[in-house]
Structure 1
């Protein structure tokens, strides 16, 4: 019995490029897809197991050997009139740069680099990180959140590889913010008092000069018109009274402003630690690491490895089947 020639475009036409594949897909029973997937997974089970295991082992290695990160937190109450100023400093790169310089934090911020190159801060090895680099690094690690929208309670947190160092730096940071605001307030109040006292002395000297020579303030035109001596004395007396009233009001205002600025200086000196920020909950070492989260990392590694393994399995089946398919009719 003679063998029938394959009809072009059918499943038997294995020599036609690509056509048999499309015809096979078109004539496939949808229920067969599940069995085909099962067969592929069964054939590639070793590949899937190996890839998933490698990903999982990698995630386990990272979870247990990566440098842990800890978060230290402090709760402070910011004075209503100093709220904007404190927020501005905690966002200022110049403030952080000055803080890193004053507290000599570069070796702490780059402890890993210092361990690898002990002489880096003495000019040995590669170029050491600058103050600007250290300030940018510290600023990224500091987070500020408000307890309530219109509340002065603010939570400041710092993330670092060492919980004790994190707490120490954060406490020093809060102290420095308070110091800078207090110093600026004292300088401003002192400058205001100096100016107000100068104005007060000027007012006093003008009043004394005017009282000593009332005729200087009399009208020459009135004298030329033969105003009687009695009328002139009345005019002079009225001018004196008006000058005293005006001078007294202005003097009172100057004195009030001097007292207000003096109270600011007094408060800055007597309440130095709580001038702008009152600490309710100082930062303390928190031994609970926030990164890496071991369970999440391992689970993510397992799931990622499984998906990658299945993808590689189907890819290999596709490419291997595509290469061997044209030779199936020979």
Structure 2
């Protein structure tokens, strides 16, 4: 019986020691979080008027663009296209793959050029660092980035939101300018009073959207609480790891003795 207890204790101590070693030497990961609120487009009198003429506009072959929703904004934020641009503009490849990057010589430490990390690989890696959670009750969005450098994690979290707002705002302004030009051409050709009323309202709406987009930096996502440098690491959770190591060691010891 004494031998059995010694074996159980020995295996438990061994597993606990391995867990402690892992907790001490595992790389630290910090999570920076940004709290966001989707920007709700104001319902202006012009927008209300447009709904009355929607049928006539459709008959004339003029499509009234629908407002972007939260799902589209989040999908854009997680898209390969957006993340590829973000990684390229921030020159993140050397940071994401720093274990094979020679910072002094500015070259990749690989056997051939074919082994150099690609933007597609970088996007896949970055997606694993990025987390977006939406509160179903409040509608607020929490964007978080996990990285071993807490300052970098906070910087990326804030920069992602900034770049997304800039990109969507630029797209909205460009689209509005195209529609304004088209509507002005249609207005010059149309003599029907009902159709002219539709075109006037559509034109006013597009000009109003372009004006608001020009002055609103938080175009799609309003920053409620920007990311700050996290002081506490997210991983590894040392206490939990040691506790699990001790528990698993005990079970393994019992299994080894009695089975």
When normalised by structure 1's length, the TM-score is 0.64
- Would the alpha carbon gap of residues 88 and 100 (structure 1) be closer, same or farther in structure 2, given more than 3 Å must change? same
1:299 maps onto 2:259 in alignment: no
Of 258, 261, 267 in structure 1, the residue corresponding to residue 206 of structure 2 is 261
3-state SS in 2 of match to 1:56: helix
For the 8 Å contact 1:268–1:275, the answer to whether it is kept is yes
Structure 2 matches for 1:154-193, cutoff 5 A?
154-193=141-180
Please, which runs of 5 or more residues in structure 2 have no aligned partner?
41-66
- Would the alpha carbon gap of residues 152 and 299 (structure 1) be closer, same or farther in structure 2, given more than 3 Å must change? closer
184-193 or 85-94: which moved more? 85-94
Which position in structure 1 is the counterpart of 2:195?
250
3-state SS in 2 of match to 1:291: coil
Give the superposed CA RMSD.
2.1
More helix by share: 1
Alpha-carbon distance in 2 for matches of 1:201, 1:99: 42
For the 8 Å contact 2:145–2:153, the answer to whether it is kept is yes
Offset at residue 299 of structure 1 (A): 0.8
Offset at residue 113 of structure 1 (A): 4.0
3-state SS in 1 of match to 2:33: strand
When normalised by structure 2's length, the TM-score is 0.81
Alpha-carbon distance in 2 for matches of 1:304, 1:113: 36
Offset at residue 118 of structure 1 (A): 4.7
Alpha-carbon distance in 1 for matches of 2:22, 2:109: 31
1:92 maps onto 2:37 in alignment: no
Name the structure, 1 or 2, with higher relative contact order (CA <8 Å, separation 6+): 2
Offset at residue 195 of structure 1 (A): 0.8
Which position in structure 1 is the counterpart of 2:136?
148
- Would the alpha carbon gap of residues 50 and 119 (structure 1) be closer, same or farther in structure 2, given more than 3 Å must change? farther
Structure 2 matches for 1:226-237, cutoff 5 A?
none
Alpha-carbon distance in 2 for matches of 1:118, 1:184: 36
Q: Deviations over 1:94-145 (max 9, x none)?
A: 221221112211222223443xx55896244242321111111111222122
Structure 2 matches for 1:35-184, cutoff 5 A?
39=1, 42-80=2-40, 81-82=67-68, 83-114=70-101, 118=103, 122-126=107-111, 127-149=115-137, 151-184=138-171
Larger radius of gyration: 1
Q: Deviations over 1:130-177 (max 9, x none)?
A: 11111111112221222334x442111111111111100010001111
Q: Deviations over 1:159-209 (max 9, x none)?
A: 111111110001000111111211111121111111111112223xxx6xx
Alpha-carbon distance in 1 for matches of 2:100, 2:19: 25
Offset at residue 298 of structure 1 (A): 0.5
Please, which runs of 5 or more residues in structure 1 have no aligned partner?
1-38, 208-245, 316-330
Alpha-carbon distance in 2 for matches of 1:52, 1:280: 48
Which position in structure 2 is the counterpart of 1:275?
219
90-99 or 286-295: which moved more? 90-99
Alpha-carbon distance in 1 for matches of 2:139, 2:186: 37
Q: Deviations over 1:58-101 (max 9, x none)?
A: 11111111111111111111124432321221231222122111
1:313 maps onto 2:257 in alignment: yes
